[in-house]
Amino acid sequence: MVIKTENLVGQIKNIDIGNFGKTFTYNGEVLENNTLNNFNISKDLHKIKLKIKAQQEKPTTIKK
């Protein structure tokens, strides 16, 4: 994900990425409510590596 900002360097923001319909992880942790919380804007352009969390399959019951 690329975050481009103007005049926000030095601020801390919560970035909502929930509109993609997937569950994401950042630095190995699941993003609660798909929000990158307390992200420190240290420059005008950030490249962030996110991973899509694999959907857990529901267990299937085999009937005899």
pLDDT tens digits for 5-31? 999 999 999 999 988 888 999 999 999
0.85 cut: is pTM over it?
no
Per-residue pLDDT, 42 = 97
Does the structure show a pLDDT above 80 at 64?
no
Per-residue pLDDT, 26 = 92
Does the structure show a pLDDT above 80 at 61?
no
Range 36-50 average pLDDT: 95
Q: Are 24 and 31 in contact (CB under 8 A)?
A: yes
Q: Are 35 and 15 in contact (CB under 8 A)?
A: yes
Distance CA 45, CA 55 (A): 30
Average pLDDT, the chain: 88
